[in-house]
Amino acid sequence: MIFREDLDFRIMAKGMLGKQMLDGGFGQFRSIVKYVCWKLGKFFAVVNSRGTSQECPECGAIVKKTLKVRVPHCLECGFTIDRDVASGLVIRNRGIALISTDGWSGKETVCAGDLAGAEKSSQVPKSRKGTTRKSLK
């Protein structure tokens, strides 16, 4: 299973690192991951990105902190872990909660209809029967 935050890269591109965000090809990477999950039969889902760095992955309490705090400490349960790892755990917890809700178990979120190249049955290019570009003119 792969869970991803629903981030809007257009808004992130307006900040100080805007050019780097657009050059990085994050939007294309999202499409590639979605396609590969569909191709390999893996589950792919998008979760809400609000507050993933502020929520405690252990107890779910909201712990406000600045970006300067890299290893937060939850005041509710005492859980301490690196901020990036905690955000990843929150994303995983939200994804699992999304698919384990009554009536939503096994919900398919990726379908071939909206993916580029999905109409092809094989990834192997067809033979051009020995022709070259010059002979096609």
76 belongs to a structural domain? yes
Residue 99 has pLDDT above 50, yes or no: yes
121 belongs to a structural domain? no
Helix (H, G, I), strand (E, B) or coil at 80: strand
135 belongs to a structural domain? no
91 belongs to a structural domain? yes
- Look at the block and give the residue holding tokens 């905690």: 86
**Token pair listed for 7:** 């981030």
129 belongs to a structural domain? no
Structurally, the chain folds into a number of domains equal to 1
pLDDT, tens digit (0-9, with 9 covering 90-100), for 101-127: 565 555 555 554 554 444 444 444 455
pLDDT, tens digit (0-9, with 9 covering 90-100), for 53-64: 888 888 888 888
**Per-residue exposure over 3-34, b if at least 16 CB sit within 10 Å of its own CB, e if not:** bbbeeeeeeebeeeeeeebeeeeeeeeeeeeb
- First vs last C-alpha separation in the chain: 48
50 belongs to a structural domain? yes
What gap in Å lies between CA 122 and CA 41, rounded to an integer? Answer: 15
134 belongs to a structural domain? no
Domain with 15, as residue range(s), is 2-116
pLDDT, tens digit (0-9, with 9 covering 90-100), for 20-43: 777 777 778 888 999 999 999 998
- Full-prediction pTM beyond 0.85? no
Measured at the CA of 40, the angle between CA 35 and CA 42, to 5 degrees, comes to 85
